[in-house]
Structure 1
């Protein structure tokens, strides 16, 4: 059976993607330089440049190449091609960044979220931060905000993009619809994801070899670092992302990785829910709440003495029980410990000591990406903006 040939439309899109990627990565280039950089023929590059220039994606800079031979025109991204918005909604507050297609931060704004965080107060903080960042970027003439990627410290319903309120949620008390809040501030789609999932994707991208021009969130190469790992987030809240074959497993309703109620060994040596261990150790932020007091936990862990050693041993045993459950269910090659206290060296070392004695030991390592949730959202936003520019060249996206 003869393989089906790729359509002309697909070939043009792939060509435009390579050309846009080369300009994004290298800056202004002539058509001859684009041909060398992309490995495409000069006529193919010339056709792509004409399409992208007509769509307002590329522009003649007015500069000419020097040296012997025929002078070439330099092309770069057109002014005002637009930006992307990356947002993080977390207990520390809301962070909004407007990014250009090269990943540079055009503007940044923050807003505090009053605790306990309820949908109305979180919505106001979200709108305030985003509006400030968008208005600052607009004043710089960067063009419209084409799309947004939101990281949220709560489970996210895959079908609606709304944040899901679960019993014993440590941060947001109620449901929130970030897409509705941003509808008047962003021209295009709003993608919402859980912060632990974005953190895992950022970790995945950081561990994978890069190929120039590849999407910012796409690991490449056969020797890419473990594509099967579990990212265990340990902060005010507790969460997990399971990465299999380079993809995060979200579950039917986006609720995969909720590990707070995994049964572990508690401070008194009895079986208890993971989240209850912190109540037993007196490490809750507020009486009756489930948010973990990270500062007090780290102070206890590093304070030494009988109390600190007991706290560290109890935490390490509980985390190891969660790791054991993850190994039994998902068989990851590695478990990455992230979050404000999960990546602490003392915690990691203590967990390693416990894991070595497990029946099915696994590699345990600290996360490597700082501010991983925002980094993951930022990476996806920039990659999506690049795809948008390619779609404009192909006539698939609105100008």
Structure 2
């Protein structure tokens, strides 16, 4: 015999479903909410009351609904419901945007990168970006900060993991510690490629897909059965450490082929993109071979429905067609190879989604 869910869980589930419906529709009446969700009108009325009393929703007053003789009260996201901050920290610098609880971006903040390996400069840039965001906040409380890091993150401790040969050595810091005296909201941390895959998951239309990131480093985000695979130690998807064609790693092989920076253990994204823009056949051939090896390995092992190419290099338009052709000749899997839909902003979108989910869930749990 199945046990009934606790009343508090049912209430929170209802409140979240109705909140999401209001945010998705922007303005809606209780009658429309009942019709859209299937909840009874008394259940909708009680939930909307809780959400309104808690400041998450606001009544805009009686207005014509568009149906003859009908006047209803419309509800929308509360003006002071709060906001979240999404931050991306990688070799290109520190980038952030503030968004309301509907995910609408209100302000953008950026700081350029420091020198390779200059952890102090990166910490200063991270603090400066957050300080700037706090100086011009959207209305309401800051409810969560989500930080995308270009290094692996432990799935349990949420600490950045130090790996030998990391392409982002200056990023071996704890964002929660760096920001502890600036924000009281929870600081959530995850790997940039995982967050990019999280962001793409909403539009990919597949329960199982792989997201291959090609930029300053190489990474893989893997969704299987609608679940993100992080691995026991947070190291799933560290494809730069795969064996190359020779004795070294795949990342080392790309560096040896002329793509590495002279001052850091990472790919020189600017130089690689220029080579692709200039239709350099050698550069294209080397990159296609490397990406094909990754995609062929992933499709052979886990057989995803779709493989997305992402990152500043992975999204270059000249890369997709030859990778498709090479994978089709190499792999028995019928997986589709596509570009990600969010481009280089995918990690920021993923951080926003992570922050929003935490913020809304916590706010609804705390409703009286």
Tell whether 2:185 aligns with 1:193: no
Tell whether 2:275 aligns with 1:300: yes
**Distance in 2 between residues matched to 1:50 and 1:365, nearest whole Å:** 45
**Distance in 2 between residues matched to 1:228 and 1:110, nearest whole Å:** 34
Tell whether 2:272 aligns with 1:290: no
8 A contact 2:320–2:339 mirrored in 1: yes
Which residue does 2:163 correspond to in 1?
166
Tell whether 2:283 aligns with 1:311: yes
**Distance in 2 between residues matched to 1:271 and 1:200, nearest whole Å:** 30
**Per-residue deviation at 1:151?**
0.8
Out of 220, 235, 238, which is 1:258 matched to? 238
Tell whether 2:321 aligns with 1:354: no
Structure 1 residues 226 and 64 mapped into 2: Cα distance closer, same or farther (>3 Å)? Answer: closer
Deviations 1:29-67 (A, max 9, x none): 443343334332222222223323333333444x22358
Which residue does 2:357 correspond to in 1?
383
Structure 1 residues 53 and 252 mapped into 2: Cα distance closer, same or farther (>3 Å)? Answer: same
Which residue does 1:5 correspond to in 2?
4
Out of 344, 364, 374, which is 2:337 matched to? 364
Q: Which one has a larger percent helix, Structure 1 or Structure 2?
A: 2
**Distance in 2 between residues matched to 1:226 and 1:46, nearest whole Å:** 35
Which residue does 2:82 correspond to in 1?
82
**Distance in 2 between residues matched to 1:78 and 1:366, nearest whole Å:** 36
Deviations 1:74-118 (A, max 9, x none): 444433221111111121111121111111122221112202143
**Per-residue deviation at 1:125?**
0.8
Which residue does 1:65 correspond to in 2?
63
Deviations 1:3-25 (A, max 9, x none): 32233222222222233223222
Equivalent residue pairs, number: 364
8 A contact 1:146–1:186 mirrored in 2: no
**Distance in 1 between residues matched to 2:69 and 2:284, nearest whole Å:** 70
* Superposition TM-score, scaled by structure 2 size: 0.89
Deviations 1:303-332 (A, max 9, x none): 34xxx3233223222222222322333332
Structure 1 residues 228 and 77 mapped into 2: Cα distance closer, same or farther (>3 Å)? Answer: closer
**Per-residue deviation at 1:128?**
0.6
Structure 2: give runs of 5+ residues left out of the alignment. none
Which residue does 1:215 correspond to in 2?
none
**Per-residue deviation at 1:196?**
0.6
**Per-residue deviation at 1:257?**
1.0
**Per-residue deviation at 1:200?**
1.1
Which residue does 2:51 correspond to in 1?
52
**Per-residue deviation at 1:259?**
1.2
8 A contact 1:261–1:274 mirrored in 2: yes
Out of 208, 218, 236, which is 1:228 matched to? 208
Deviations 1:233-263 (A, max 9, x none): 1111111122111122111121111111212
If you compute each CA radius of gyration, which structure gives the higher value, 1 or 2? Answer: 1
8 A contact 2:98–2:106 mirrored in 1: yes
Structure 1 residues 35 and 301 mapped into 2: Cα distance closer, same or farther (>3 Å)? Answer: closer
Which residue does 1:242 correspond to in 2?
222
Structure 1: give runs of 5+ residues left out of the alignment. 208-224
